[in-house]
Structure 1
């Protein structure tokens, strides 16, 4: 059905408004991503400091005995998004978590979820959430979220009948190729291979490390700092990838809006050209009609009628 010029103009106005919103969202995604990138780099330095503390502890006190420890509860922390406009971000991560649980073939873990929309995506796959946390609205909120998660994990460890719990982190991270992918990272118990590597690494200093507090209390404090740094890093990485997903989606939307605007402008230009052509043809036809001479009667001539054929009755 043919459209009028007025209809096309309204559609172009609406698409231009949408285009403005999409460009604003693109700009916000780029601006919001930068602080999270900086927070990610900052927590890397803190994480290395904690590793150095563990290195010093292991060099001074040796490797703790984990033989008597028994793994009790399984805990999984899932970092989702509540901000929207980032495509199927939560659904992809929920599918990854469901696949990880199926592959583990063990008892269903206690799920700590960040984001209400992430909880809904997990619920669609029949995965229950033990506790819901609000995602950070800014960089300052990452530390708040990491503190809350660390405290809750400590409570679970204290409430567990065993001396240790197993904790996994599920979030979306960037790969070396730049592609985003959902991944699961073990957090607790500490990887024995990592501890052995730290224990075997030589301590580069003239003095050996020492401490005065209880070795068990110091190790618990170091583990808590390690948990906090890992949770902070996972949350910051999730926020970076969320903004990257939103930026990619907005770029696709921007291209689609520009293509639609190009089509509408082309249709409007063609419709205007048709209107101009029609008006020009009307003017030309009228001008040609005015140029044609009118037929007039010759002067001095009269009309005659032949009455011979008529018969009078």
Structure 2
């Protein structure tokens, strides 16, 4: 009985240590999500400025039609996770990318992957990425990743007009009740409505520019790519931490349930041991009393 009590006590201590680790991971997930969410909000304000630049350019230059470059094929940039403890994050996104690449309109699909674990998930589904990039370790690293993606898209363009390429971003967004929602959004070619001239400009000051039109449009496209990649990476990191927070919450509840059950077992075993010891004392006392009478 003493050995059973000792085993239960040791098990209780192990579970208490695990609960402390799970609680620490849950706290870290909640704290880590905040900087990424702030980064996503800040880049959204910058992106709106870029969108206003497109509208001003179209109003000044007239309607612009950008035909997609069929020679370049379709490039999908996939934002995965390398930190773990967030469930089937990479597998869900890899399934969505596979469905996107097998669609009839997605010919010659190529993949640029962020994260080694995402690379493994894509390889298992027959979609080996051309390149694998490191995910950002903090909110400060999102700008580095976005600039790296823009540079690699430039190198993939081989000197051709970047705005005509077909590029999509695959990442995860937060769904209802903390669910993961894989999304795939077209980044290039640009939405035709973005370069359509508005009939009336919403201000008395008409837009104008002094740069060469080609250079200005190329700069707007690159900044649009940078802001979109930055936003997708930040949203992916927020979703990853939210998924990890949900998993840690479930683990904490499971450990608490097991601890409650174990405490009940410990109380029962202690009570049984105390009862057994009391019975031994009573039996010994009765035996001594009988011997004294003799």
- CA gap 1:163/1:171 in 2 versus in 1, 3 angstroms: closer
Partner in structure 2 of residue 72 of structure 1? 71
Shift of 1:106: 4.0
**1:104 aligned counterpart, secondary structure:** coil
The alignment of Structure 1 onto Structure 2 pairs a total of residues equal to 293
- CA gap 1:208/1:170 in 2 versus in 1, 3 angstroms: same
Q: How does 1:178-257 map to 2 (within 5 A)?
A: 179-196=179-196, 199-200=197-198, 202-257=200-255
Root mean square deviation of aligned Cα? 2.2
Partner in structure 2 of residue 127 of structure 1? 127
**Residue pair 1:157, 1:164 contacting (<8 A) in 2 also:** no
> Is the counterpart of residue 268 in structure 1 residue 266 in structure 2?
yes
Shift of 1:16: 1.0
Show CA shifts across 1:249-269 (max 9, x none). 101111111111122221111
Shift of 1:282: 1.2
Higher helix proportion: 2
**1:171 aligned counterpart, secondary structure:** strand
Unaligned runs of 5+ in 1: 297-313
> Is the counterpart of residue 6 in structure 1 residue 1 in structure 2?
no
- In 2: Cα distance, 1:152 partner to 1:244 partner: 29
- In 2: Cα distance, 1:278 partner to 1:162 partner: 83
- CA gap 1:163/1:221 in 2 versus in 1, 3 angstroms: closer
**Residue pair 2:66, 2:189 contacting (<8 A) in 1 also:** no
Q: TM-score, normalization: structure 1?
A: 0.88
- CA gap 1:26/1:238 in 2 versus in 1, 3 angstroms: same
Show CA shifts across 1:69-120 (max 9, x none). 5333210000000111111100110011111112235433121100000000
- In 1: Cα distance, 2:147 partner to 2:162 partner: 23
